[in-house]
Amino acid sequence: VITALFVCLGGVALWVLHVLRSLVEPIIAAEVRGTFDDHLTARVVRAAYRLPTELAAELEAEWLAELGELNHRPRLALRFVRGLDKAADAIAGDLLPGSIAAHNAVPAGAVEEIRIPGKRRGPAAIQREALSSNWLAFIEVAPAQEAQVLSAVFEGESTVEIAARFGIPIREVHLLRARGANRLSALGRPPTQG
Amino acid sequence: LDKGSKVCRISRVPERITKQLVAVLAVLCSDPGREWYGLELMEHGGLSSGTLYPILHRLVLDGWLVRTRDIPSDVGGTSRRLYRLTALGERTAEAMLAARRARQLEPVRGLRPSMQPR
């Protein structure tokens, strides 16, 4: 009798466990799935946040849509999302060359600093406007060309035109990245700008 | 330099031809008229998203690739984007791949055999 009782109790316990499992398992699975999806979405949004504003919304929408296609492939989804930070950094870092490449043109009034070696501080650094929100382009002028270049600047020639005329390479600096390295101070641009 | 329009034209020279770039171009050239999703290019080219999207971005900027149309997705408010080689992209990519074949460089690592430049 006792053995039969134990067998019955064991059966009941197993049944209860089975019922509990069938109730709890989907809830836990859904919770885990939801958390995972939220995590992936958050990472996409965070990656897009690293992009320049003009691209962020567009690429975020594209990436979220692609992520949506990976609903049933969590490993690939994770791999996809993992790469996006790197992609965003690379695309953001490509902004200046990209803007040259994109339009095969640079607006003439866009390039913005002329730096004359030996006169890194004070009025010798002539600054107008940034090439974009993140990039400042500048040229370095040798002392021998200083007078000619300054005169061209005051006549309203753009830095691009001056660079082309005098054969001076255009250089650029990323404002946010340069801030820590104090390169902006060396360029005569207050670090608070940009 | 066109001073009148205040625009300086700078010709685009590819900075680096990487294996990853060649992998993307090989996939695109395997069916030049086809429109591809980014995810498809990623899978066929054996590339990560971190490598693929900067390449796509640059190819679009350079006029080698166009975003043809957006396909609304299940995720609210978003749409998948299709890419296709432009005529310029096709010509240049074919030339680049042909030059690479001529130099008999090693196969592109990670690329499916059917997608390898032949």
Q: pLDDT digits over B4-32, tens only? A: 333 333 334 344 567 888 889 899 998 88
Position B70 pLDDT exceeds 50: yes
- What pLDDT, on the 0 to 100 scale, is given for residue A177? 53
Nearest to B63, CA basis, from B40, B83, B35 = B83
- pTM score: 0.57
Distance of alpha carbon A146 from alpha carbon B112, whole angstroms:
57
Tokens of B48: 């990560």
Tokens of B55: 């390449």
Position B105 pLDDT exceeds 60: no
Distance of alpha carbon A130 from alpha carbon A61, whole angstroms:
28
Chain B residues within an 8 Å CB radius of A79 = 48-49
Instruction: Sort B80 into a burial class: Cβ within 10 Å, 0-12 / 13-18 / 19+.
Output: buried
**Distance of CA A75 to CAs A4, A67, B39, Å?**
49, 11, 14
Q: What is the DSSP letter of A51?
A: S
Percent of the residues in chain B that have a pLDDT greater than 90, as a whole number: 8
Asked whether the beta carbons of residue A158 and residue B58 sit closer than 8 angstroms, the reply is no
Helix residue ranges, H only, chain A: 2-49, 53-69, 74-93, 95-103, 146-154, 159-166, 175-181, 183-186
- What pLDDT, on the 0 to 100 scale, is given for residue A188? 40
CA distance B61 to chain A (A): 4
Asked whether the beta carbons of residue A98 and residue B3 sit closer than 8 angstroms, the reply is no
The amino acid sitting at B69 is R
A-to-B residue pairs, Cβ atoms closer than 8 angstroms: 109
Distance of alpha carbon B109 from alpha carbon A71, whole angstroms:
28
For A132, the 3-state DSSP assignment is coil
Asked whether the beta carbons of residue A84 and residue B53 sit closer than 8 angstroms, the reply is yes
CA dihedral A160, A162, A165, A170 (to 10 degrees): -50
State the CB neighbour count (10 A cutoff) for residue A128.
13
- What pLDDT, on the 0 to 100 scale, is given for residue A57? 83
Chain A residues within an 8 Å CB radius of B10 = 100, 104-106
Chain B residues within an 8 Å CB radius of A59 = 53
Chain B residues within an 8 Å CB radius of A43 = none
Q: Quick one: which H or E segment has residue B118? A: none
Distance of alpha carbon B35 from alpha carbon B37, whole angstroms:
7
CA distance A146 to chain B (A): 22
Count the helix, strand and coil residues of chain B and give each as a percent rounded to the nearest 5. Answer: 45, 20, 40
Q: What is the DSSP letter of B34?
A: -
The amino acid sitting at B93 is A
- What pLDDT, on the 0 to 100 scale, is given for residue B104? 56
Asked whether the beta carbons of residue B11 and residue A104 sit closer than 8 angstroms, the reply is yes
Nearest to A102, CA basis, from B100, B84, B74, B58 = B58
Tokens of B68: 């043809």
Interface test mutation site (partner A, options B57, B60, B65, B68, max chain A beta carbons within 10 A): B57
Position B51 pLDDT exceeds 70: yes
Chain B residues within an 8 Å CB radius of A101 = 12, 58, 61-62
- What pLDDT, on the 0 to 100 scale, is given for residue A172? 65
**pLDDT grade for A108, boundaries at 50, 70 and 90:** very low
Q: Of A134-148, A179-193, B43-57, B84-98, which gets the smallest average pLDDT?
A: A179-193
Considering only residues B86 and A176, tell me which one the structure prediction assigns the higher pLDDT: B86
The residues near A32 (Cβ < 8 Å, ≥ 6 apart) are none
Residue A104: phi and psi, rounded to 5, are 50, 35
Instruction: Decide if B4 touches A, using CB distance below 8 A.
Output: no
User: Across chain B, where does the E strand assignment appear?
Assistant: 7-9, 36-37, 65-72, 79-85
Considering only residues A73 and B115, tell me which one the structure prediction assigns the higher pLDDT: A73
Q: Give strand pairing partners of A134.
A: none
Considering only residues A101 and B19, tell me which one the structure prediction assigns the higher pLDDT: B19
Question: Which of B3, B10, B11 lies at the smallest CB-CB distance from A106?
Answer: B10
Between vectors from CA B63 to CA B58 and to CA B69, what angle results, nearest 5°? 90
Write down the residue that tokens 């390479």 correspond to: A169
Asked whether the beta carbons of residue B53 and residue A68 sit closer than 8 angstroms, the reply is no
- What pLDDT, on the 0 to 100 scale, is given for residue B33? 86
CB within 8 Å of chain B, chain A residues 26-55:
none
Distance of alpha carbon A88 from alpha carbon A55, whole angstroms:
10
**pLDDT grade for A180, boundaries at 50, 70 and 90:** very low
Chain B residues within an 8 Å CB radius of A67 = 75
